[in-house]
């Protein structure tokens, strides 16, 4: 609520945040991120989290935000929270309303095995913000241990994946497709560079990201000439 009131004073119309992750029951004191369908108790946990906590909370918070001039609440789809992929983002949006949208950060989608281009096309005009950040899937560790990795982010050589500056996880072709599809769905806003690359200083990571993105961003307006009927 404090962020909403501050945004109102600053004239900011868009807030970036996470969905949150409640415990598995009213008695729980720690988050409980459900990642599989078994045992059956997990279904009860999801029902409690979504229908008794998450949806009521964000309905109330969205109404409060709208009353104070907020036009968009953009959730980063982040593992560990209830909204972690496009499907869960749209589930919350459907329950709460169009004030809810996505802060699209492909780095959190890459390591889940999600194709960012397919996700962009799925979300469409529900994309409210974009983080330019990459992920490198380790070709040695990931085939052995899979993508669910709880090792410290500073233990890069043993992790299944690590965050990288754009271009150090995926090449120009991937990022050109991402940028092109953002344009296809009508996103015409900021690509905010987020630095979490532990192999580079923030300064070097930012400089390399800027240089890389200059080659993939589209700066001019769309071509309106008609070449065929």
CATH topology of domain 115-221: TIM Barrel (3.20.20)
Q: Note whether 174 and 107 are within 8 A (CB).
A: no
Enumerate the domain spans of the chain. 1-104, 115-221
The predicted-structure confidence for 171-199, as pLDDT tens digits, reads as follows: 999 999 999 999 999 999 999 999 999 99
229, pLDDT greater than 80: no
Q: Grade residue 227 by pLDDT with cuts at 50, 70 and 90.
A: low
Cβ neighbours, 10 Å, residue 121: 13
The predicted-structure confidence for 27-72, as pLDDT tens digits, reads as follows: 999 999 999 988 888 999 999 999 999 999 999 999 999 999 999 9
Cβ neighbours, 10 Å, residue 93: 20
The predicted-structure confidence for 97-113, as pLDDT tens digits, reads as follows: 999 999 999 999 999 99
Ramachandran region, residue 90 (left: φ > 0; alpha: ψ -120 to 50; beta: rest): alpha
19, pLDDT greater than 80: yes
Ramachandran region, residue 168 (left: φ > 0; alpha: ψ -120 to 50; beta: rest): alpha
Q: List CB contacts of 13: < 8 A, sequence separation 6 or more.
A: 7, 69, 70, 71, 72
226, pLDDT greater than 80: no
């Amino acid at each position: 609520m404090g962020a909403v009131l501050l945004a109102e004073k600053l004239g900011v119309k868009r807030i970036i945040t996470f969905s949150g992750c409640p415990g598995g029951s009213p008695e729980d004191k720690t988050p409980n991120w459900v990642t599989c369908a078994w045992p059956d108790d997990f279904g009860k946990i999801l029902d409690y989290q979504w229908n008794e906590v998450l949806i009521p909370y964000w309905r109330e918070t969205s109404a409060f935000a709208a009353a104070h001039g907020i036009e968009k609440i953009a959730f980063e789809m982040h593992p560990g929270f209830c909204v972690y992929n496009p499907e869960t983002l749209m589930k919350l949006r459907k329950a709460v309303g169009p004030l809810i949208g996505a802060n699209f950060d492909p780095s959190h989608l890459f390591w889940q095995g999600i194709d960012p281009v397919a996700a962009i096309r799925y979300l469409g005009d529900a994309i409210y913000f974009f983080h330019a950040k990459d992920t490198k899937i380790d070709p040695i560790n990931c085939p052995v241990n899979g993508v669910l990795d709880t090792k410290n982010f500073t233990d890069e050589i043993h992790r299944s994946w690590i965050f990288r500056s754009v271009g150090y996880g995926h090449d120009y072709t991937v990022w050109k497709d991402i940028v092109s599809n953002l344009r296809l769905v009508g996103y015409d806003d900021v690509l905010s560079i987020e630095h979490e690359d532990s192999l580079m200083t923030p300064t070097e990571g930012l400089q390399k990201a800027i240089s890389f993105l200059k080659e993939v961003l589209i700066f001019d307006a769309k071509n309106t000439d008609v070449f065929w009927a």
